């Protein structure tokens, strides 16, 4: 496949969609899915600037006309889960898709349609935006194109994950670092990310004498970012904002830390206004590490995950603050037999990333894999820590192969792609079943009222 030129886009649209003043009219929904959307998304990702912009506008407006709507999960979290009104508990999977993004998302939406599943999140972290070469708008159009392709109708929850403060930068120039996070957040919300996880947990200082002082820079910046988000969110949409108290990979979180954070956060937030909606969930540290810890032979070390952390902090979050509960990060490489426990302890959300990446790499042709690994050894040698074997280095850095080889991943031979997607589909189905999110449409129908925000048409 190759990107379309402008006249080719117009030709492909004939008899399928018609451009109106601010949107499009769908003339043939079947042909949109079967014929048009694949070409538009390829152009939206790999085309020239003019064609790329126009294709993105078309995809976003087509999705809205077909009722696939970027949405915030805030009301489900605060009303349904925070006040424990839902009649069964499920844990919302938030999935970071680093490569083969459109195809992988199609698998998720395919399952969603079959299983009446709408309580799931597609997310990308601040770091991933960089190394996968996927800015927020591109990520959004991949999600919406995948939803359209699979006939999904309903809320599409897209999330900015770990919009993280760098401690070194912050303590050198706090305003500059805060403004950098604000700029990214603004770009993300304008792209349709109506769920944002703010992460100043990197600024927590355990050397301080009290919990409040330890969490100080974390809670004031979470409050500043919450207030900023409330200023710029679209009319009618309350963006779901997440906070974080334990930097993933550090010591386990406690309910006392959470309460110290919340009291400082809510007091600071009041300075910006009395009725500002606050965070809907809190990410905590339970003993995991992002991507897992690779052993010298390339296997991943077993993790001792403390479910009591999720349960205890979640209970305080719901009873005292009507929040949905605690969020588990770094979970995709955990043993399969643990996943059913997350809904049992009422975990509100779980973040999954590296496990999907590992499945993709496990099914790549050896020649392509070695091409990527050679590139990593040439370009990221400075990240090779003392004492690491080559397998450890490759495991920790191969996520950085998705950006430079994005088009090659997208254009893998169909048989290779089929094997990867089949393995991913199997993993997704297992996880969704364990997390109890099948038939979650009834809950989003009750608590989520999608608001259609039409994008501005590009000047051609």
Half-sphere exposure of 308 (CA within 13 A, CB side): 3
Q: Are residues 184 and 159 in the same domain?
A: yes
Q: Whose structure tokens read 């002082």?
A: 213
CB atoms < 10 A from the CB of 138, how many? 21
Judge whether 292 and 333 are in contact, CB under 8 Å: yes
Domain range for 373 is 365-406
Q: Are residues 214 and 304 in the same domain?
A: yes
For the segment 218-244, the average pLDDT, to the nearest whole number, is: 98
**C-alpha to C-alpha distance for 56 and 65, rounded to whole angstroms:** 14
Judge whether 447 and 238 are in contact, CB under 8 Å: no
Q: What's the Cα-to-Cα distance from 371 to each of 376, 401, 404, rounded to whole Å?
A: 9, 10, 11
Residue 439, helix vs strand vs coil:
coil
Please give the angle made by the CA atoms of 24, 30 and 36, to the nearest 5 degrees: 60
Q: Are residues 317 and 178 in the same domain?
A: yes
Q: What tens digit of pLDDT does each residue of 396-421 get?
A: 999 999 999 999 999 999 999 999 99
Q: Is the dihedral of CA 56, 57, 60, 65 positive or negative?
A: negative
Query: Is 330's pLDDT higher than 60?
Result: yes
Q: Are residues 224 and 357 in the same domain?
A: yes
Rg of the chain over Cα atoms, rounded to whole angstroms, equals 22
What are the residues facing 350 on neighbouring strands?
93, 328
Query: Is 293's pLDDT higher than 60?
Result: no
**C-alpha to C-alpha distance for 166 and 169, rounded to whole angstroms:** 5
**CATH number of the domain residue 86 falls in:** 3.20.20.70
Phi and psi (nearest 5°) for 95? -110, 125
Q: Are residues 389 and 303 in the same domain?
A: no
Q: Are residues 45 and 104 in the same domain?
A: no
- Determine if residue 90 is left, alpha or beta; phi over 0 gives left, psi from -120 to 50 gives alpha, anything else beta: beta
The residue among 242, 408, 443 whose CA lies nearest residue 327 is 242
Q: Are residues 61 and 105 in the same domain?
A: no
Residue 327 in domain: yes
Q: Are residues 251 and 384 in the same domain?
A: no
Token couple for 45: 């990702």
Residue 453 in domain: no
Q: What tens digit of pLDDT does each residue of 190-224 get?
A: 999 999 999 999 999 999 999 999 999 999 999 99
Q: What pLDDT shows up at residue 302?
A: 62
pLDDT bin (cut points 50, 70, 90) of residue 425 is very high
Sequence-ordered list of residues with C-beta below 8 angstroms from that of 403, at least 6 positions apart, any chain:
130, 131, 132, 133, 134
Q: What pLDDT shows up at residue 2?
A: 92
Q: What's the Cα-to-Cα distance from 210 to each of 141, 213, 260, rounded to whole Å?
A: 45, 5, 9
Q: What pLDDT shows up at residue 298?
A: 59
**C-alpha to C-alpha distance for 423 and 418, rounded to whole angstroms:** 9
Tell me what the pLDDT averaged over the chain comes to. Answer: 94
Determine whether 22 is exposed, middle or buried from the number of CB atoms within 10 Å of its CB (0-12, 13-18, 19+).
exposed
Q: Are residues 193 and 248 in the same domain?
A: yes
Domains contained in the chain, number: 3
Q: What tens digit of pLDDT does each residue of 11-29 get?
A: 999 999 999 988 999 999 9
pTM attached to this predicted model: 0.95
Q: Are residues 21 and 140 in the same domain?
A: no
Pick from 40, 65, 90: which residue ends a domain?
Answer: 65
Q: Are residues 297 and 335 in the same domain?
A: yes
**C-alpha to C-alpha distance for 373 and 369, rounded to whole angstroms:** 6
Judge whether 323 and 82 are in contact, CB under 8 Å: yes
Residue 294 in domain: yes
Q: Are residues 81 and 42 in the same domain?
A: no
**C-alpha to C-alpha distance for 91 and 72, rounded to whole angstroms:** 16
Residue 459 in domain: no
């Amino acid at each position: 496949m190759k990107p379309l030129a402008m006249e080719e886009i117009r030709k492909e649209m004939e008899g399928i969609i018609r451009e109106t003043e601010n949107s499009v009219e769908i003339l043939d929904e079947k042909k949109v899915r079967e014929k048009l959307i694949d070409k538009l998304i390829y152009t939206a990702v790999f085309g020239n600037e003019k064609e790329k912009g126009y294709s993105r506008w078309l995809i976003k407006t087509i999705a809205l006309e077909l009722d696939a709507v970027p949405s915030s999960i805030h009301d489900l979290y605060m009303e349904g889960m925070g006040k424990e009104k839902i009649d069964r508990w499920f844990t919302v999977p938030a999935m970071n898709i680093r490569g083969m993004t459109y195809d992988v998302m199609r698998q998720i939406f395919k399952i969603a349609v079959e299983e009446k599943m709408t309580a799931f999140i597609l997310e990308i972290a601040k770091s991933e935006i960089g190394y996968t070469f996927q800015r927020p708008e591109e990520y959004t159009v991949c999600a919406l194109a995948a939803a359209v392709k699979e006939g999904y109708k309903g809320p599409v929850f897209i999330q900015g994950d770990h919009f993280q403060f760098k401690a070194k930068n912050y303590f050198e120039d706090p305003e500059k670092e805060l403004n950098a996070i604000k700029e990214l957040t603004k770009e993300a919300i304008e792209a349709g990310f109506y769920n944002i996880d703010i992460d100043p947990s990197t600024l927590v200082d355990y050397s301080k004498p009290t919990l409040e002082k330890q969490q100080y820079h974390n809670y004031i910046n979470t409050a500043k970012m919450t207030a900023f988000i409330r200023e710029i969110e679209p009319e009618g949409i309350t963006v779901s904002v997440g906070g974080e108290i334990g930097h993933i990979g550090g010591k386990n979180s406690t309910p006392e830390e959470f309460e110290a954070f919340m009291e400082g956060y809510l007091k600071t937030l009041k300075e910006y206004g009395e009725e500002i909606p606050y965070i809907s969930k809190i990410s905590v540290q339970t003993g995991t590490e992002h991507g897992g810890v690779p052993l010298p032979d390339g296997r991943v070390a077993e993790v001792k995950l403390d479910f009591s952390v999720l349960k205890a902090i979640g209970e305080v979050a719901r009873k005292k603050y009507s929040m949905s509960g605690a969020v588990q990060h770094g979970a995709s490489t955990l043993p399969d037999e643990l996943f059913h426990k997350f809904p049992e302890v009422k975990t509100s959300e779980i973040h999954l990333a590296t496990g999907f990446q590992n499945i993709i790499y496990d099914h790549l042709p050896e020649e392509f894999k070695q091409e990527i690994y050679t590139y990593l050894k040439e370009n990221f040698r400075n990240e090779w820590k003392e004492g690491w074997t080559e397998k450890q280095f490759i495991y920790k850095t191969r996520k950085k192969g998705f950006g430079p080889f994005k088009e090659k991943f997208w254009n893998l031979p169909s048989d290779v792609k089929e094997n990867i997607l089949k393995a991913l589909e199997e993993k997704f189905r297992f996880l969704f079943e364990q997390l109890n999110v099948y038939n979650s449409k009834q809950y989003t129908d009750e608590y989520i009222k999608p608001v259609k925000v039409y994008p501005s048409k590009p000047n051609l």
